[in-house]
Structure 1
Amino acid sequence: MPNATTRPKRTRRHRRAQREDAVRNELVSRSLESAQQCLFSQDYGTAFVHYLLALNLAPALKDFANESFRFTLFKWTDELDSLGRIQDLFNCYEQAMELFPGDEVIVNSMGEHLFRMGFRDEAAGHFYKALKLRPDFPEAKENFYRVANWLVERWHFLMLNDHGRNHKYQLAIKKAVEGGCSSVLDIGTGTGILGMCAKMAGAAEVYACELSKTMYELACEVLSANGMADSIKIVHLKSLDMKIPKDIPNRVSLVVTETVDAGLFGEGIIETLIHAWKHLLLPPPNTQQPLSSPSQTGRVIPAGATVFGVAVQCREIRRQHRLCASSVGGLDLSAVGQIYSPVSCLADTEDSTEPYTTERLSRLRGGYIQLTQPFTALDIDFNNVQELEGLCSREMMQLRLCVTQEGVLDALAVWFQLHLDQDNHLSTGPQEDTCWEQAIYPIQSPFNTVKCGDEILVEVSCKDSYLRLCCAAIIRDGHTFRLYNATPKILNANPEAELCSALAGLQTNQEKPSCAFMLESAEIALLNNTAYHNSFQRAMSKLLVSLKSTRRSQQSDTELDPIYVLDVSEGFSVLSLIAAQLGFDPSEDKQISPGLVQAYSSVEKEHHQSMLRLLAKGNGVLESTLEFWLSHVEDDSAVLQRPATEKLWSAIILDCIETCGLIRQKLLEKATLARCLLEDGGQIFPERIVIHGMLVESDTLLRESAVQGTEPTLGFNIAPFINQFTVPVHVFLDLSTLECTHLSEAVELFALDLMNSTANYTDREVKVRVNTSGKVTAIAFWYQIHLDSEQSVSTFSEDSHWKQAAVVLQQPLTVSRGEWVKLSIQLHKSSISIIAVKEEGLGADDVIGEAEPVTSDS
């Protein structure tokens, strides 16, 4: 009977499967139909649920429904984002990637959400995965390049290319290990190079920690490639969170670290070392007794540091931290009072996250002038835990610097010498070829002219473990003039002191408003760009005259309809106010009616809006003619809308170029939408952008882009791993000071017509004649921004607040004078890529791009 009992079971199983298949198919069919109905009614959330059900039940339909599913996912998650339901948003993406693990578009989109919300490590992982799935995926490539600059900062490449720095660290570590330091902890290991130096020197136990997930994973790869994965334990932790014996079994005898920034303490080395001495390091040697067992005492590399500084005059620093222009585009700026950058070294400043910014002094446009002799600001011993603990409570130290050069006091520039041990030292000074920049403490008071014989009172403190240097006062002829406040306070006020103050230009204008506003450094530099604002004023005035003339011919009544102007610039912008003022500023040439312009600004921050209102009031512009547009729309994505149901915009101002030197993302999409919202005769500002470029040879760009050479770094195989994060486009360059050789004249690379999409293209070939023999390592580029057919500004001009950029070639191209180089240029959205090849036997008639000389105004 075995067969009799078996056969019916198989039969019943077969019949049940048929019924189940029929039910499943019916459910799948109904779910897909419901999803389509929900899409039609824009109920994206319900449509998403129906798609999830259908595709989980019928995976064979995934290819068929892929596009509709993506569309639904993106619409629903955008809705969740606008509602602030961030966890639900990420849950939807997780469900989508379970269904479509190989869909690079979904993976890349997830990365975009993560990056926008500040999860850079996680975002990079998704961009990298999307590129692995599809190496030619341009959106993922652009996103990865952008995020790579955050994850693996350019100084990592400079540091690994700094052979002198690497060798000195190696010598100091070797000396310490041979002197008895057998157990080592590398804090902030980065690529793991210092820990590997310790192991190679003979350390018995080596540990390392790294907080960045990207750098931690990179270090693990490096250790494995160098055969040290089993002999160096690396943990993905901040050293402050490490515990014994959980993370390391015992206290170590040596800590090596390079957690220092341009201002020495900005990466938290003081807190890091105090914690290490208390919890991770063996106690320091007792200096009162001879060492009986060096291996039972702890020490730190670097052993200490000396901080130096100098007072400088520098126009480039000044225009990023103080308002230098009294008026721009016809606007009197005095109505807003003082404008400051968020960089402040004052001890009671709450708005400042850091008391200094950083610059490479040798690369600042226009250079700098030393107003004093260099001075010593601080000495610190990292092997003295009592000194480290007492640093923040140390009394403020006052220094009096003698002015040796008359000029404008713009900043204190600071650098340091790092004492690795008694024999090995590293300097970050402005004259050194080093991977470090210098710390800049800007002077934001406008009362800062000094002359020979004056003294500058500098206060040095270490509040919150930050090194703070503050120019507190100027001392002249025995009188002290405080510079703490916008209005200098004369400490020893008397008639003679007031006279000295007047002669020094330090007295205040009592008629100026006492209010003060804070802008980002880039926004202050933009406000100081008078050429850009004045050119915009002329272009806008011309448009308004044309529109008014047209309306007069079309309208019989005396009162003309308003001219609607929308400014969708990023951050702070006064362009909308310049347009509004033109409606209140009749002239014999323009004859523009008062109140003709209705301007809309997209600035969001309250203090930005307050500044514009004050400027409007101070310049005779009625408050009713300036509105803040984001209060009229539901979310930022809808910022390009009609001013009213029946109206169109007369002018739309787009912010096209990022300060760093790149085209803003989604610029062409915004321009396409803007064109649909323009009235006849209306205009987009700017109407056209032309990208100019030239061939350059620059070892500096190579050192900043990748680890150079074929030789291992200190004998370790590091380059192949960190060079995965090489970014071909370098930003925030100042081509006027970059160490490079110009191998050609400038040539037009690309043009974007924002008013006429049919005139645009996606790729172009340009042939450039070499006028200087050398190696083409990069193509530097900048922009000519055409506001209209007559007015344009260059991002390479002396007053430009924009920086320039360069595409670094993967393989340098050796060229000789008279040869031709063909550049194949592609622009995908805002990402530019260039391939360069040498052309043989070309004549002048073969040139596609017309070259022009490079000048400071080109």
Structure 2
Amino acid sequence: MPNSNAKLRRSPRGGQEAGRRELVSRSLQSAEHCLEDQDYGTAYAHYLLVLNLAPELKTSVKETFQFTLFKWAEELDSLARIQDLFNCYEQALELYPNDEVICNSMGEHLFRMGFRDEAAGYFHKAVKLNPDFADAKENFYRVANWLVERWHFIMLNDAKRNLTYLKAIENAVCSGCKSVLDIGTGTGILSMFAKKAGASSVYACELSKTMYELACDVVAANNMEREIKLLHLKSLDIEIPKHIPERVSLVVTETVDAGLFGEGIVESLIHAWEHLLLQPKLQAKNQDGSTEDCGRVIPSSATIFGMAVECKEIRRHHRVETQEVAGVLLPNSVQFFSPTYAFAGSEETVEPYTTEKLSRIPGGYKPLTEPFQVMTVDFNNLQELKSLAGRKPWKLSQPVTEGGTLDAVVVWFVLQLDDEHALSTSPSEETCWEQAVYPVQGLSDFSVKAGDTVMMEVCCQDCYLKIQKISFSTSECGMDCSDGDDTLSLGNEAELCNALASLQTTSKQDGEGQVCVLESTEIALLNNAPYHRCFKAAMGKVLSSLNPSKDLQSMDVDGHGSGVNLQEDQNKSSVDVVPDPLYILDVSEGFSILPIIAGKLGPVKAYSSVEKEQHQAVLNIISEANHFPKETLEFWLSHLEDENVVLQRPKSDKLWSIIILDVIETSGLIQQEVMEKAAISRCLLHSGGKIFPQYVLVYGMLVESQSLLLESAVQGTEPTLGFNIAPFINQFKVPVRVYLDLSTLPCVPLSKPAELLRLDLMNPLLNSSSREVKVQICKSGQVTAIPFWYHLHLDEEHSLNTSDEFSHWKQAAVVLDEPIQVQIGDELVLEVQHHKSNISITVKQGRMPCVN
């Protein structure tokens, strides 16, 4: 417990002052006694009284007050007294408004409760108060995407996009549109374009509190705070004359996503035409033929295009391509789908598409059809906008021009800002947008050849463009190659929803027709054959060493043994002694079949930490299909009262022989609290038991990459056409870019890969929180970033590389604040630090000629 001794300064006042000092002194003593008794709530109340009566004690009791607050907050959290918890933090921040530790702790509680935007705000404040506060920096970096999404940097660095919008706005203002409303203003750049073009009145609305405050700072820095009225509102909530005095003549917006409609542009423009905009030009003529001020929208219209493609990378994330994984049979009765297929059965709103930058997708893609027009939309036509949502689905068909595997329909659009200016998001264009991807799932066959016809259904429901029921007919006989089972055909939403509902509550006795919806990364993991083979071999070694019976020695742990399964071997002789089972715990994130693979390796009791009932039901079916005794597979969370203590002993008081930890996030970062989990795991291992992975090596290399710079920070005023935005939005940049694929990252390697750090889960004495690494330059250039990845060593013989072509993991990169010019033969010294789950890499020494 921190030192709580504090002395009250004497004051030359009379009896009232003496009484105050006495009350404060007694309260301090009471607080200390309560802390000794671990009565944190009462101690906290006493400290509040002390600090309100004697503010001069703030410095001396600060550390103890923080300790008391955090302990009391933990109790309130465990009792689900959420409002009381937040009240305590608000009281504490009134007393210590600039305390970074309290701000950070408040953010952690908010984040755990799902208030991510609010949490990010507190983390950001803590970092501003103390830029060297490691805990706050790590927290802020992890949630910065919720404060300012990363596409803001890419978009603001897109000079072509900015210039095209500027010219279209200038045209509109010069033609008479003098009052402007910017919907979803972001940093305020379009509003400033309008003011620069000569608009007399400019209004801008932004729903995000952080982006609204950022826009206020940007507008003020560009001396336009008196000329642009910023509203912290959703456009649907704007009222006349409460928020703006009258209808405007121009609405500008870029609330479009890769699928065009996903950010609600249709709904917001319908409301704008009905309540905020002047009448359109065609309706605004006087009887004498003259034209009044009229309303218009930028962008004026859009045309959506599509194309069927073959793409291995999309396929491996949305279709399970194997019927056998490391010796485990995946029965035909289970069908796996990604959320883009099964959005109708989800309780949450799930986009019917994913997004990809097709120009950088690993392995590339092959067009199977010519680009075709999906639809057009006129944003200046209210009736057309209103009819979109109610429009019945329509069918499209397109001839196949080149044979291949039908993996997806990809979509992009041309945004027509006005008659002269347009922006294309085509994969062949250099653009800040990605493309929308509709993976093809649920067909009985995916092979097409030239002359076949791809068919699909299109609709615009729930503010999304949906392309569904994708199938094809063959050229020979017009045969429709779609899934023959209607309950699983793409787009048959009612049937799929019913199937999912029944799966959640009941399990069919025959196990037929089970639908399993997995995240795309979970499907990629199932398709990662080297991953499962590696785990099978490493687990087999551990089990053999712990129970070297004849049965275990004969098992097929590496794919080359006798293949005799223990359950089969046990039936050969009634006199064989059945060894006690060994306990295996898999606490991997998400769906994992490693416990079933372990079950094939001998007398084990494998525990899975899979949470979803749907996934548990499917694992049971797979277990039955592989003829496991029922007791082989258990779901560990059903044995626990508190999921937070997942790492504990089995109830039988046995110890674990193997504990499988998820060490790396699919984003490319280290999982949070993984070293703490490893410390607990080591205490729960059977003698000779192992944690998988046993240790992790972090590798990195120096690169020059303009792309990483553009994606991480706004590069001065040039791309924003002279407007001063960079210093404000760059406050929210983070040093680490995640979800990278090094195989397609536009970069020039300036060094060979180097080992940066070792994280040992079995032997913590081999770990160090900081290390210096010398890296030699092999190519001249500018070091702008340090990509890094991992080698996960299950043991000395079996390891996994998170950057290989089969990996379901992505990679990450540290982006330098300032590029470093280097020459061949130079040597840079990198300081690599590991704090909790955050890796920081800094260049400690700049250019230094290498001495041979």
Same fold (TM over 0.5): yes
Would you say 1:840 and 2:848 are equivalent positions? yes
Post-superposition offset of 1:731 = 0.4
3-state SS, counterpart of residue 374 of structure 2: strand
Aligned positions of 1:17-36 closer than 5 A: 17-36=17-36
Partners of 1:488 and 1:630 lie apart in 2 by: 31
Kept in 1, the 8 Å contact 2:471–2:482? The answer is yes
Kept in 1, the 8 Å contact 2:30–2:43? The answer is no
3-state SS, counterpart of residue 658 of structure 1: coil
Kept in 1, the 8 Å contact 2:825–2:849? The answer is no
- 2:571 corresponds in structure 1 to none
Q: For residues 650 and 349 of structure 1, do their structure 2 counterparts lie closer, same or farther at Cα, with a shift above 3 Å needed?
A: closer
- 1:374 corresponds in structure 2 to 371
Q: For residues 512 and 616 of structure 1, do their structure 2 counterparts lie closer, same or farther at Cα, with a shift above 3 Å needed?
A: closer
Kept in 1, the 8 Å contact 2:27–2:46? The answer is no
- 1:180 corresponds in structure 2 to 176
Q: Cα deviation per residue 1:456-475 (whole Å; 9 max; x = unaligned)?
A: 11211111231111243311
- 1:473 corresponds in structure 2 to 471
3-state SS, counterpart of residue 702 of structure 2: strand
* TM-score normalised by structure 1 residue count: 0.88
- 2:514 corresponds in structure 1 to 515
- 1:433 corresponds in structure 2 to 430
Partners of 2:535 and 2:112 lie apart in 1 by: 32
Kept in 2, the 8 Å contact 1:319–1:528? The answer is yes
Would you say 1:572 and 2:591 are equivalent positions? yes
Q: Cα deviation per residue 1:155-197 (whole Å; 9 max; x = unaligned)?
A: 1111111111111100000000000001000000011010111
Amino acid at match of 1:547: L
Partners of 1:146 and 1:357 lie apart in 2 by: 22
Q: For residues 456 and 346 of structure 1, do their structure 2 counterparts lie closer, same or farther at Cα, with a shift above 3 Å needed?
A: farther
Moved more, 142-151 or 788-797: 142-151
3-state SS, counterpart of residue 334 of structure 1: coil
Identity %: 58
Amino acid at match of 1:31: A
Partners of 1:314 and 1:571 lie apart in 2 by: 25
Q: Number of aligned pairs?
A: 796
3-state SS, counterpart of residue 467 of structure 1: strand
- 1:695 corresponds in structure 2 to 702
Post-superposition offset of 1:88 = 2.3
Would you say 1:663 and 2:662 are equivalent positions? no
Kept in 2, the 8 Å contact 1:472–1:484? The answer is no
Amino acid at match of 2:266: I
Would you say 1:738 and 2:745 are equivalent positions? yes
Partners of 1:288 and 1:70 lie apart in 2 by: 65
Would you say 1:249 and 2:245 are equivalent positions? yes
Q: For residues 76 and 581 of structure 1, do their structure 2 counterparts lie closer, same or farther at Cα, with a shift above 3 Å needed?
A: farther
Partners of 2:662 and 2:49 lie apart in 1 by: 43
Would you say 1:359 and 2:356 are equivalent positions? yes
Partners of 1:102 and 1:288 lie apart in 2 by: 56
Partners of 1:760 and 1:489 lie apart in 2 by: 50
3-state SS, counterpart of residue 412 of structure 2: strand
Partners of 1:219 and 1:437 lie apart in 2 by: 25
Post-superposition offset of 1:54 = 5.1
Partners of 2:233 and 2:216 lie apart in 1 by: 14
Q: Cα deviation per residue 1:641-688 (whole Å; 9 max; x = unaligned)?
A: 122374322211110000010001111111111112222211110001
Aligned positions of 1:668-679 closer than 5 A: 668-679=675-686
Kept in 1, the 8 Å contact 2:168–2:417? The answer is yes
Aligned positions of 1:384-399 closer than 5 A: 384-399=381-396
Q: Cα deviation per residue 1:323-348 (whole Å; 9 max; x = unaligned)?
A: 11222232112266101011138889
Partners of 2:274 and 2:384 lie apart in 1 by: 14
Unaligned runs of 5+ in 1: 1-11, 492-510, 584-595, 845-858
Q: For residues 55 and 645 of structure 1, do their structure 2 counterparts lie closer, same or farther at Cα, with a shift above 3 Å needed?
A: farther
Q: For residues 195 and 626 of structure 1, do their structure 2 counterparts lie closer, same or farther at Cα, with a shift above 3 Å needed?
A: same
Amino acid at match of 1:383: N
Task: Find 2:197's aligned residue among 168, 190, 201.
Answer: 201
Q: For residues 286 and 468 of structure 1, do their structure 2 counterparts lie closer, same or farther at Cα, with a shift above 3 Å needed?
A: same
Kept in 1, the 8 Å contact 2:285–2:292? The answer is no
3-state SS, counterpart of residue 281 of structure 1: coil
Would you say 1:649 and 2:656 are equivalent positions? yes
Post-superposition offset of 1:450 = 1.0
Post-superposition offset of 1:637 = 2.4
- 2:645 corresponds in structure 1 to 638
Partners of 1:24 and 1:806 lie apart in 2 by: 53
- 1:449 corresponds in structure 2 to 447
Q: For residues 633 and 44 of structure 1, do their structure 2 counterparts lie closer, same or farther at Cα, with a shift above 3 Å needed?
A: farther
Aligned positions of 1:37-56 closer than 5 A: 37=37, 39=38, 44-53=40-49, 55-56=51-52
Partners of 2:772 and 2:27 lie apart in 1 by: 55
- 2:806 corresponds in structure 1 to 799
Amino acid at match of 1:667: V
Q: For residues 646 and 48 of structure 1, do their structure 2 counterparts lie closer, same or farther at Cα, with a shift above 3 Å needed?
A: farther
- 2:538 corresponds in structure 1 to 539
Partners of 1:780 and 1:295 lie apart in 2 by: 58
Task: Find 2:101's aligned residue among 99, 105, 119.
Answer: 105
Q: For residues 655 and 433 of structure 1, do their structure 2 counterparts lie closer, same or farther at Cα, with a shift above 3 Å needed?
A: same
Q: For residues 55 and 638 of structure 1, do their structure 2 counterparts lie closer, same or farther at Cα, with a shift above 3 Å needed?
A: farther
Q: For residues 393 and 782 of structure 1, do their structure 2 counterparts lie closer, same or farther at Cα, with a shift above 3 Å needed?
A: same
Partners of 1:47 and 1:600 lie apart in 2 by: 43
Q: For residues 539 and 229 of structure 1, do their structure 2 counterparts lie closer, same or farther at Cα, with a shift above 3 Å needed?
A: same
Post-superposition offset of 1:227 = 0.6
Amino acid at match of 2:527: N
Partners of 1:378 and 1:744 lie apart in 2 by: 48
- 1:7 corresponds in structure 2 to none
Kept in 2, the 8 Å contact 1:35–1:51? The answer is no
Partners of 1:316 and 1:22 lie apart in 2 by: 73
Aligned positions of 1:781-792 closer than 5 A: 781-792=788-799
Partners of 1:191 and 1:687 lie apart in 2 by: 46
Partners of 1:79 and 1:574 lie apart in 2 by: 37
- 1:497 corresponds in structure 2 to none
Amino acid at match of 2:352: P
Task: Find 2:625's aligned residue among 613, 618, 622.
Answer: 618
Q: Cα deviation per residue 1:695-721 (whole Å; 9 max; x = unaligned)?
A: 111111111011114547222111111
Amino acid at match of 2:699: H
Kept in 2, the 8 Å contact 1:394–1:462? The answer is yes
Q: Cα deviation per residue 1:590-631 (whole Å; 9 max; x = unaligned)?
A: xxxxxx312222222111211221121111222323222223
Kept in 2, the 8 Å contact 1:692–1:782? The answer is yes
Kept in 1, the 8 Å contact 2:120–2:146? The answer is no
Would you say 1:407 and 2:414 are equivalent positions? no
Amino acid at match of 1:841: P
- 1:549 corresponds in structure 2 to 548
Amino acid at match of 1:234: L
Task: Find 1:160's aligned residue among 156, 161, 165.
Answer: 156
Aligned positions of 1:321-340 closer than 5 A: 321-334=318-331, 337-340=334-337
Partners of 2:520 and 2:760 lie apart in 1 by: 30
Kept in 1, the 8 Å contact 2:701–2:786? The answer is yes
Kept in 1, the 8 Å contact 2:334–2:618? The answer is no
Would you say 1:606 and 2:613 are equivalent positions? yes
Partners of 1:187 and 1:605 lie apart in 2 by: 39
Q: For residues 558 and 475 of structure 1, do their structure 2 counterparts lie closer, same or farther at Cα, with a shift above 3 Å needed?
A: closer
Moved more, 280-289 or 521-530: 280-289
Partners of 2:732 and 2:341 lie apart in 1 by: 33
